[in-house]
């Protein structure tokens, strides 16, 4: 089935995301299926620079489907951005006889792959970030688990909030993207959701919504804030000043990155991992694996990074209807 690709390196880079281990397992097992040797590279581009590698044998990926994080560890490499670091990474690619590199991560990871590709290395990227902000794909590994983790935490907060008739302000991750906040806000029936993609008026988008909810008979309020939109602490302070409520502010932070990956993340990661190896076997390079309309495809790396990704318009419409705006 394969006559040209003999050895592939696999690494994870940037922020970790639930489901990365499932993708690692899929790449390793797909390599065995295509009769390719799989080499694990620890700590992302730093590991490629320093030669921190090991053979990815079967026992390395046994029972990792249910584990969060990444068994390959991950890091953001400043050294790779230097000429010396890049040359060392390229030298190790040659020394190890790598016919291709598959990297699991986000846009920073893919930009690093693009640099390797410019120097003749065959590369494929697998999108994994809880932010779901990779423009060329409908879905990124980790988003579903992070959403469920946030929803579970907020449901627990709601129990005590209802008991004390209080307002809760919850900050979720997402950097400068509001996909996670929007999705979670819909799932928990938020009173208001603040996202970086939509310029908001505090009076109209928070204060008026809380007032409207109170006039309709509600005695507890849930405000979801994307970390790139505003500070949850400042939002809570302003609610207190303008409405004399005593909001409880919760910043979920990195708890959203951990935990057992959901079934969806495991399946998507497995499909993406297989497709990445298959792309290299087919002679493709400089590709990003994308989930599109329920299927898998791969597109040019530069083309994918150049795309823009807006929020789901239908979800935004539903959110407006549910929050009365």
Percentage of the chain exceeding pLDDT 70: 98
Round to whole Å and give the CA distance between 302 and 286: 8
Q: Which CATH class is domain 146-258?
A: alpha beta
- Is 265 among the catalytic positions? no
pLDDT at 325 over 60: no
138-190 pLDDT, tens per residue? 999 999 999 999 999 999 988 877 766 789 999 999 888 999 999 999 999 99
Assign domain 7-142+261-306 one CATH number from 3.40.190.10, 3.40.50.720, 3.40.50.450, 3.20.20.60: 3.40.50.450
185-216 pLDDT, tens per residue? 999 999 999 999 988 999 999 999 999 999 98
How many helices (H) and strands (E) in the chain?
Answer: 12, 11
67-109 pLDDT, tens per residue? 999 999 998 889 999 999 999 999 999 999 999 999 999 999 9
Question: Which residues are paired to 100 by β-bridges?
Answer: 8
The pTM is what?
0.93
pLDDT of residue 321: 87
Which among 229, 213, 232 is positioned nearest to 221, based on CA atoms? Answer: 213
pLDDT of residue 164: 65
Over residues 51-57, mean pLDDT = 95
pLDDT at 250 over 80: yes
Which among 179, 135, 133 is positioned nearest to 316, based on CA atoms? Answer: 179
* 239 and 170 Cβ atoms separated by less than 8 Å: no
pLDDT at 12 over 50: yes
Pairing between strand 123-127 and 167-172? Answer: unpaired
pLDDT of residue 163: 66
Place of tokens 């044998």: 57
pLDDT of residue 2: 60
Instruction: Please tell me if the domain spanning 7-142+261-306 has the same topology as the one spanning 146-258.
Output: yes
Neighbours of 206 (CB within 10 A): 26
Residue 34, phi-psi category: left (phi > 0), alpha (psi -120 to 50), beta (remainder): alpha
Q: What's the mean per-residue pLDDT of the chain?
A: 93
Round to whole Å and give the CA distance between 192 and 323: 6
pLDDT of residue 319: 85
pLDDT at 324 over 90: no
Q: At what angle do helices 232-243 and 208-215 cross, to 10 degrees?
A: 60
Residue 322 or 103, more confident: 103
Which among 279, 296, 307, 288 is positioned nearest to 125, based on CA atoms? Answer: 288
Over residues 119-123, mean pLDDT = 97
Round to whole Å and give the CA distance between 192 and 169: 10
What are the extents of the domains in the chain?
A: 7-142+261-306, 146-258
The single residue of 16, 99, 107, 131 carrying the catalytic annotation is 131
Round to whole Å and give the CA distance between 246 and 240: 6
Please classify residue 264 by burial: count the beta carbons closer than 10 Å to its beta carbon, then call 0-12 exposed, 13-18 middle and 19+ buried. middle
The structure tokens listed for 185 are 């806000």
Round to whole Å and give the CA distance between 61 and 24: 8
Round to whole Å and give the CA distance between 104 and 91: 21
Over residues 268-290, mean pLDDT = 97
Question: Which residues are paired to 12 by β-bridges?
Answer: 104
């Amino acid at each position: 089935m394969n006559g040209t690709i003999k050895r592939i390196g696999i690494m994870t880079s940037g922020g970790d995301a639930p489901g990365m281990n499932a993708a690692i397992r899929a790449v390793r097992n797909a390599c065995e299926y295509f009769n390719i040797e799989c080499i694990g590279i620890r700590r992302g581009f730093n590991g490629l620079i320093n030669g921190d590698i090991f053979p990815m044998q079967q026992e390395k990926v046994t029972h990792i489907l249910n584990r969060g994080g990444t068994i390959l560890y991950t890091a953001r490499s400043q050294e790779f951005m230097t000429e010396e670091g890049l040359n060392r990474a390229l030298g190790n690619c040659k020394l190890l006889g790598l016919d291709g590199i598959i990297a699991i991560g986000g846009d920073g990871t893919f930009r690093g792959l693009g640099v390797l590709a410019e120097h003749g290395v065959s590369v494929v990227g697998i999108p994994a970030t809880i932010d779901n902000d990779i423009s060329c794909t409908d879905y990124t590994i980790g988003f579903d688990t992070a959403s469920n983790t946030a929803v579970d935490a907020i449901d627990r907060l709601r129990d005590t909030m209802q008991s004390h008739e209080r307002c809760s302000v919850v900050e979720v991750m997402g950097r400068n993207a509001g996909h996670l906040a929007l999705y979670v806000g819909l799932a928990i029936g938020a009173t208001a959701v603040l996202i970086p993609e939509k310029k908001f008026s505090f009076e109209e988008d928070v204060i008026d919504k809380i007032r409207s909810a109170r006039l309709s008979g509600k005695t507890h309020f849930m405000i979801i804030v994307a970390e790139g939109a505003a500070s949850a602490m400042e939002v809570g302070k302003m609610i207190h000043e303008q409405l004399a409520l005593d909001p409880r502010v919760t910043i979920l932070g990195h708890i959203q990155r951990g935990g057992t990956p959901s079934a969806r993340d495991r399946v998507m990661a497995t499909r993406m991992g297989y497709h990445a190896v298959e792309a290299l076997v087919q002679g493709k390079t400089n590709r990003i694996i994308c989930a599109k309309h329920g299927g898998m495809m791969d597109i040019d790396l530069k083309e994918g990074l150049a795309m823009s990704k807006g929020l789901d318009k239908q979800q935004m419409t539903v959110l407006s209807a549910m929050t009365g705006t």
